[in-house]
Amino acid sequence: MFLILLLYSPLALSEICKMRPIEGVGKIDFLNPHTFIQNNCPCNGNNCTIDLTPLACGIELYNITTNSLMFITPINPACSQLPILRFILSSNIYTMNVGYVRITTESNSFVSISDLVINQPEGDVQFFDINEMVIIKKVKSFNQSISSSLSVINSKLNFISIDRNITLNFINSDIHFSDITTVLDQELFLRQSIIYISKSLIIENAHLTIYYDQYQSWSVLYANSAIEISSMAVTLVIEGDSVSSQSDCYQESCAPFISNTPGNKVYLSDNITFEVLNDTGMDKLEILLHDHSVELCFTRTKGCSVVEKYGYIFVFVLFFILLLPFLVIPVVIWMNKMGCRKKDPYQDFGY
């Protein structure tokens, strides 16, 4: 394991603080000296390594503040609850090696991570409930041929670059990319999130899965410079009730999901594919290109029910059918009575 660590660290590691195996507790104080095996821990500085190998499923390590190199040995991905790292105050971390973990911060904290290395196949790293300043300069996988997952949940995060084999899952979050050119060429799951691109944006061989909720909103990407889309696949997932059941038949809905500032162009190729899930009534999904935005539009020209198509006629016919007995029965009685009088003209005179 430490060969992996040395591979990513050009610095000579002179101090190591290894976490002590602790059982039967749900939370562990990072600043407690009994948390680590070695004395004078937790150490600090670029020549120090924090080894959190014993961090187990469902355990929260809190009060973390350090400028050291953090090394977290991966745990069993089958854990129903991932371990939690909770940061306070200020931390500048040169490299953080993680496998399966959740990361959050307390108020008035600052965390900067130069390299976030996901060191396990199908590793899962989650940032959640972060409203403070967190900057991650580089996200990469130790094995470039195997995908890993990075999730951001209810948070505000700043990235510079993320490797293409990292699957991104943004849920109700604000994401900032501050590289000169941001390239999105991976799998992205976007659920009610906003992505801000400081400079130019290139979308190449990316698959965007966009979740459309009952409030009729989805994620939006903003760029401050040119946007170039060479190839992209878009999957629109309808959550909750089908959109077709909530809206009138033959309705068209459009909303921008990629846009930039005035004066900058959007370059869009024809190599774009679409797919819609959970809405059989949706007939067409397409992209409309404008000067400064790309709109995602869908229409419903199929799958409408009979009531939706012929509602007024259906109501009139139903009303007429219900009213028909009250019109027909008196007429039939009258006709029968008149018919009897024609057959026996002396009936009224008692003969």
Q: How is the chain split into domains, by residue range?
A: 2-178, 311-349
Length of the chain: 351
User: Which helix or strand (DSSP H or E) is residue 71 part of?
Assistant: strand 69-71
Whole-number pLDDT of residue 226 = 83
Look at residue 300 and give its three-state secondary structure: coil
Whole-number pLDDT of residue 5 = 43
pTM: 0.75
Residues of the chain with pLDDT under 50: 1-13, 244, 349, 351
Look at residue 282 and give its three-state secondary structure: coil
User: Which helix or strand (DSSP H or E) is residue 246 part of?
Assistant: helix 243-246
Q: Which residue matches tokens 């195996």?
A: 21
At 98-135, the pLDDT tens digits run 888 889 998 888 999 988 888 777 778 889 999 878 99
Whole-number pLDDT of residue 253 = 72
Whole-number pLDDT of residue 341 = 54
- What b/e sequence results for 26-64 when a residue is b if at least 16 CB atoms lie within 10 Å of its CB, and e otherwise? eebebeeeebbeeeebbbeebebbbbbebbeeebbbbbb
